[in-house]
Amino acid sequence: MKHLPIILMLGLFLVTCGKNSNPFLTKWDNPFQIPPFDKIEMDHYMPAFEKGIEQEKEEIETIINNTEAPDFENTIVALEKSGELLRKVSGVFYNLKAANTNEKMNEMAKILAPMLSKHNDEIALNEKLFQRIKTVYENNKKEDLNTEEMTVLEKYYKDFVRSGALLSNIDKERIKEINSELSTLTLQFGDNVLEETNRFELKLTDEADLAGLPENVITMGKEAAQEKGYENAWVYTIQRTSLYPFLTYSERRDLREKLFKGYTLKGDNNDELDNKELIKKILKLRQEKAKMLGYESHAHYALENTMAKSPERVNELLMKIWEPSLKKAKAEAYDMQKMIYNEGQNFKLMPWDWWYYAEKIKKEKYGLDEALLSEYFQMENVRQGAFDLATKLWGITFKPIENVNLYHKDVEAFEVIDADGKHLAVFMTDYYPRSSKEGGAWMDAWIKQSNIRNHEVRPIVYNVGNFAKPSGGKPSLLTFDQVTTLFHEFGHGLHGMLSQCEFPRVSGTSVPRDFVEFPSQIMENWAGDPEYIKVYAKHYQTGEPVPDELLEKLEKAGTFNQGFITVEYMAAALLDMAYHTQTNFDDLDVNKFEKNVLNELGLIDEIVVRYRSTYFNHIFSGGYSAGYYSYIWSGVLDTDGYEAFKETGDIYNQKVAKLYRENVLEKGGSEDAMDLFVKFRGREPEPTALLKKRGLN
């Protein structure tokens, strides 16, 4: 095997694993099919991947060599059943690589990227297989296919065409090369960002440097220093759970600047972790592939199967929101500059000042103290609030699973039970930061839901966050922004857990990118609704509910800083579209291009784009290239969708909840996304509620 020498050099010894020694080659003998994390070792992955690839190849050959005329059952259903072992090992490996990685895993991923890319291309560009799919597609009217079956068939046909099935053999080989290169480059981009994030630290040794920091932020810095082996020191990092509190409260402007620049220069330090050349290579390859497949740009290719359909329609929506957002952001910057002058200072407001003065103005204008508010948002209470909301809407409950070995001590598992007592899913939460975990928050599945020809598989879903750990004798206390993040990811989780599709190809979150954020973002509306906050927000010491006075302040401050929040995000979405609608990258200077795009938009100097190019993981390492706009597109859907509840006068309205569950959460991508929204809402979405919610109307 050609990978053997490399693996041996890495110390990842391939062993001949019998069915009793490699957990991936045996049935997971527990009630919920939870991966046996305590039995999985690094040596198990590569043999399982290789066996999985071998098995799927054999399954594909069986389909191709079937002497019966191609039909939906012997071609499409057979394809959906294939690759089970490969999905099994991939699900564990890549979820752990994101949430609890190590150096060996990162090195193995570099070997696997081209290996799996090659395998996937061999399937996607298999002429005989495509001809069978094409025959079924062209003869679909001869079969009595239901809506989901027809959707799955169309997706297979279009996927093969979009993968290059209609190209010449020479072009197919070039597509394979491009896919292999991209798999390696995008992986390297993400690894560089993670390593850069873990490498930077602001080490303080003088108590005077802590001026303005609340007790919990000081304690966080102390414990971070102790973890690194530093005595009499405090450490702050560019992990957001450390970065944002420091920027919000530190009176030391010079230290705020140092930490902020450490964050915004990730991947842009002209060293071994610099991402600028990787970006150029990624963009050139994406454009080459799009052109070969007949598309004007990568954006046109990427948007074909979305709700938006085209970059022109995306930009039209973005610019409608950009102009009022920028106007409001300028007004917010003016208020901050005025405060600076009123304090007797004469410096110009800069990006590292924004969080600090936003907090001061919020306190002055609304009397809202985020640190005080966070005392009512203990992580466990907020999580239970998310669980209780699901109970109120659909009767589902969450029961802790005891005596199960999970992949880290911070992870907890729950059985999800439907109102009728039926098992729905397993749900895991992993909320605290560590160096082995990527930044941000996300949802994924160890096992996806399916029910192919009544062979039911219920999902195992997990949510990951990077919230502040319990420290100084206090539990994990969340900011309100983190509260909405927890509810957001739980919404993704519900989309996976409540799925009732037959085929994994369309189950759960397998929906267009600009629809996938709808089920997550709609949950944020309940998280911030004064009526529901009272249900879950309890003081971590007294257990008293959050007082009405504090809730009133939170509600009044609801549109505060929304100019900044929206502009910061929109600038990133527009930068993404600008990159991916370009067609020539030969002379690309990443920093110059980024600067020109933002200058043309009129982005003010006081605000930095949410993700600068060199650490824009969503588009250069994740799956959101030409798709970062999806959050605002889904924002229109989620605010309009929540209005369906509010219009009834009951935010738990059972009729609306049933419509939402049956037409969105259970359907996955089994029908057209717009059709599903219309079935739920009764009409197409309108942006009025979004503009009102953000105070942009």
Phi, psi of 104 (to 5 degrees): -65, -40
Q: How far apart are the first and last CA of the chain?
A: 62
Q: Could you identify the residue written with the tokens 């809407």?
A: 393
Residue 191's nearest CA partner among 97, 95, 89 is 97
d(CA 187, CA 130): 29
d(CA 515, CA 129): 30
| Residues paired with 538 in a beta bridge | 377, 545
Active-site residue among 149, 332, 489, 524? 489
489 annotated active-site: yes
Residue 596 parent element (H or E): helix 590-601
Distance of CA 427 to the CA centre of its chain: 17
Q: Could you identify the residue written with the tokens 């993670």?
A: 194
What is the Cα gyration radius of the chain? 25
DSSP-derived pairing of the beta strands 450-452 and 202-204: unpaired
Residue 478's nearest CA partner among 461, 496, 465 is 465
How many Cα atoms occupy the beta-carbon half-sphere of 118 within 13 Å? 8
Asked if 496 contacts 508 with a C-beta cutoff of 8 angstroms, the reply is: yes
Phi, psi of 166 (to 5 degrees): -95, 0
Please classify residue 346 by burial: count the beta carbons closer than 10 Å to its beta carbon, then call 0-12 exposed, 13-18 middle and 19+ buried: exposed
Residue 456 parent element (H or E): strand 455-457
Q: Which residues are catalytic?
A: 489
